[in-house]
């Protein structure tokens, strides 16, 4: 499950403790932490591509070998594109996905997120990972605005962006989701809006089934 375009960017430890956002505040097992990528994360991510249904929904190529995926993800760990910040999403000590903050503008980035095993979908991991990504962007990177887009046909990702408090701003390019023609819907949230939503709407951290 991915917002934006899945693995669109085919083409040192940072924050030591990461940023944690919980589904239920008192339940540490439900939290998602974002941290810098590590070398071993590439092996886990490459293994996700063994599920062809996951590849279809995440817009990953079915045609690459494990070694190809491993090589790609290792390159992101060691030499990421200058405009990409990719963070590991970790739940209960397990790598469950990643979050991207992408773009060249100093105070504005695009949010992307992916949960890497379909058995984890529908449990709220995507929402919590995306929230942790927003928290990192605003609280750690000092961004002023974060935007995202999701395919209209991918209602799970659309719901997540809406539940984050992001405001729909327009329509993006056409696209394809699971073989069906669709289009991108674009959303954005400012640092001020994020802080308001975070403090006044704690219920946003409680995912509905399917998010």
- CA gap 165, 187 in Å, rounded: 9
Averaged over successive runs of 10 residues, the pLDDT of the chain (211 residues) comes to 40 32 40 96 97 90 95 97 97 95 97 91 89 97 98 94 97 93 98 91 46 53
pLDDT of the residue at 211: 53
- CA gap 98, 36 in Å, rounded: 10
pLDDT of the residue at 204: 53
pLDDT of the residue at 122: 79
Residue 203: CB partners within 8 Å, gap ≥ 6? none
Q: Vertex 133, ends 129 and 135: CA angle to 5°? A: 115
* Buried-exposed string 103-137: b where 16+ CB fall within 10 A, e elsewhere: beeeebbbbbbbbbbeebbbbbbbbbbbbbbbbbb
β-pairing, 108-115 vs 145-151, is parallel
CATH top-level class of 19-201: alpha beta
pLDDT of the residue at 188: 99
pLDDT of the residue at 199: 83
């Amino acid at each position: 499950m991915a917002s934006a375009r899945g693995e669109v960017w085919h083409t040192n430890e940072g924050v030591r403790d990461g940023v944690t956002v919980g589904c239920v505040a008192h339940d540490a097992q439900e939290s998602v932490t974002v941290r810098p990528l590590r070398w071993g994360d590439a092996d886990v991510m490459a293994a996700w591509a063994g599920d062809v249904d996951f590849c279809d929904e995440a817009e990953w190529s079915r045609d690459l070998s494990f070694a190809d995926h491993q090589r790609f993800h290792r390159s992101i760990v060691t030499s990421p594109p200058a405009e990409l910040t990719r963070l590991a999403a970790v739940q209960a000590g397990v790598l469950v996905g990643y979050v991207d903050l992408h773009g060249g503008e100093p105070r504005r980035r695009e949010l992307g997120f992916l949960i890497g095993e379909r058995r984890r979908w529908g449990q709220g991991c995507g929402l919590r990972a995306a929230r942790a990504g927003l928290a990192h962007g605003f609280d750690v990177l000092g961004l002023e605005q974060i935007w995202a887009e999701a395919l209209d046909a991918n209602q799970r990702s659309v719901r997540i962006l809406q539940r984050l408090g992001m405001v729909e701003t327009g329509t993006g390019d056409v696209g394809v989701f699971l073989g069906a023609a669709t289009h991108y819907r674009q959303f954005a949230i400012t640092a001020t809006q994020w802080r308001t939503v975070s403090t006044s709407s704690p219920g946003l951290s409680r995912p509905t089934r399917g998010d």
